[in-house]
Amino acid sequence: MKLVSVAIDGPVGAGKSTIARTAAKRLGFVYCDTGALYRAVGLYCLRSGTDMGDSSAIAARLPEITVEIRLVDGVQRVFLNGSDVSEEIRLPEVSMAASTVSAVPEVRAALLDLQRGIAEKNNVIMDGRDIGTVVLPNADVKIFLTAKPEIRAKRRYDELVSKGMEVVFEDVLEDLQKRDYNDSHRAAAPLKQAEDAVLADTSELDFEQSVELVCGIIQNQNSNKT
């Protein structure tokens, strides 16, 4: 039976990870959070005191880094050089570092084979910034998941507050807008909607409705190709 690959792209704070993870569980697919891979690289660079304004310095760190995705009790966990960093990579400063390292071509090349290998072996839902355009250009289903910036910032703010972090909404919105600009203007695989991707705007939807929308698109698009 043919394996099915689903590429979900979109800007930061669109809920790609939580929506894709839930949709994958309901459909019986493997979920791959590619953003977590870049966050792990960004975390390592921060820990090692790398000059984040020097792309060659970031690239020079790659031989020191091993990133793995493992399923632990059915939940995806991210390991950096053997240590579970699944929680730490969600910190705001790591988010900005992830945006920085993801613009480095050497970093994208290093993680590309890992991502494609997962799709070759599983029915997979993979989310990120350039899945449908670069990583899985031949994906069976492509979705561009987005929402208005203020909506995305509020969702991210609520998520951070729920984890006990002291954050200011205006700061979260400013960081989100900076990442939107950086992700869409970088030279290496900029964020953009693939020509054959279905646009899914969740600005007016709650979480459950967003998951239903994504699952519906996947089932509809895949049935049309079989």
Q: How high is the mean pLDDT of the chain?
A: 91
* Type of residue numbered 175: D
102-156 tens-digit pLDDT:
889 999 899 998 889 888 888 899 998 889 999 999 999 999 999 999 999 999 9
Q: What are the residue ranges of helices labelled H in 52-197? A: 55-61, 92-101, 105-121, 149-162, 169-185
* Whether pLDDT at 61 is above 80: yes
Instruction: State the pTM of this model.
Output: 0.75
Q: How far apart are the first and last CA of the chain?
A: 11
The span from the CA of 160 to the CA of 24, in Å, is: 24
14-25 tens-digit pLDDT:
989 899 999 999
The span from the CA of 21 to the CA of 198, in Å, is: 18
Please classify residue 204 by burial: count the beta carbons closer than 10 Å to its beta carbon, then call 0-12 exposed, 13-18 middle and 19+ buried.
Answer: exposed
* Whether pLDDT at 38 is above 60: yes
Which residues share a beta bridge with 33?
127
82-99 tens-digit pLDDT:
999 999 999 989 999 998
